[in-house]
Amino acid sequence: MNRSIKLLSIALVAQLILTGVVWSMQTSGPVVSNDPLLPQAGKADQIVLIDPEDGQLTLSLKDDNWFLKAEPKKADKARDSSDTAAADKPVKANKSKVEALVAQLSGLKRSFPVARTPDARARFKVADDTYRRKVVLKQGDDTLATLFVGNSPSMGESNVRLSDDDAIYRAALAEYQLGVTAANWKAPKPKPKPKAKAETKTDAKAADTKAAAPDASSTKEPAQG
């Protein structure tokens, strides 16, 4: 009798343990770290945007201002004047737009990976030699991070992968936000100062009439005593 009770107790404990394991496996989902994907993005003083078809554009920080230099890939490709000028020397970039990009890159998170395999890199367009955009963040001569931006799973999002990581993430970053033409990043021209109001013929005639009119005080007849 005691032996039967002992066996039943062991079986009950084993069943409870098995039930707990199964329940844990069913209820526990993948752990999402939610850590920053590019924690050093705010330290970058140089951002290189690379398009495998159209070339690259470099944004450089100097004396609290951002400058751009475009390097189109195809020499025989028609380019607008702004791209030609930007290829020759750095020109001032739209500071607020560059800062918005830095803030967006800093805000990207390590969500749960959508894939990790080498085959998936080519499929999602985030392989070393197959990508839609490549973003290189630098500080001086040091490379802080290299991010491959691939195809878009939905509007305003892209699949991305860091060059030193197998994980592929879904991020709130669109391909069109990483254009490599100078016109996309060039600082707007300052508004011209308003010109002084030109004197019209009517104003000039009125001024001449007023000047020619005799002063009322000088034409008043003297009082008779």
DSSP state letters, 9-34:
HHHHHHHHHHHHHHHHHHH-------
Whether 68 is covered by a domain: the verdict is yes
What is the distance, to the nearest Å, from the Cα of residue 139 to the centroid of all Cα atoms in its chain? Answer: 17
Q: How confident is the model at residue 165 (pLDDT cuts 50, 70, 90)?
A: very high
Question: Mean pLDDT across the stretch 173-181?
Answer: 95
52: tokens are 């495998």
Whether 208 is covered by a domain: the verdict is no
Whether 4 is covered by a domain: the verdict is no
Q: Which of 212, 220, 120 is nearest to 160 (CA)?
A: 120
Question: Mean pLDDT across the stretch 158-162?
Answer: 98
Question: Mean pLDDT across the stretch 128-150?
Answer: 97
Whether 85 is covered by a domain: the verdict is yes
Whether 20 is covered by a domain: the verdict is no
pLDDT(98) > 50: yes
Please state the φ and ψ torsions of residue 18, each to the nearest 5 degrees: -65, -40
Q: How confident is the model at residue 128 (pLDDT cuts 50, 70, 90)?
A: very high
Domain count, the chain: 1
Q: How confident is the model at residue 72 (pLDDT cuts 50, 70, 90)?
A: confident
pTM assigned to the model? 0.69
pLDDT at 200: 55
pLDDT(223) > 60: no
Q: Domain containing 111: what range?
A: 41-185
Whether 130 is covered by a domain: the verdict is yes
Q: How confident is the model at residue 28 (pLDDT cuts 50, 70, 90)?
A: very low
Whether 129 is covered by a domain: the verdict is yes
How far is residue 101's CA from residue 57's CA, in Å, rounded to a whole number? 14
Cβ neighbours of residue 181 closer than 8 Å, sequence gap 6 or more: 54, 57, 70, 80, 82, 83
Bridge partners of residue 168, in order along the sequence: 115
pLDDT(142) > 50: yes
Whether 88 is covered by a domain: the verdict is yes
Q: How confident is the model at residue 90 (pLDDT cuts 50, 70, 90)?
A: confident
pLDDT at 23: 45
pLDDT(222) > 60: no
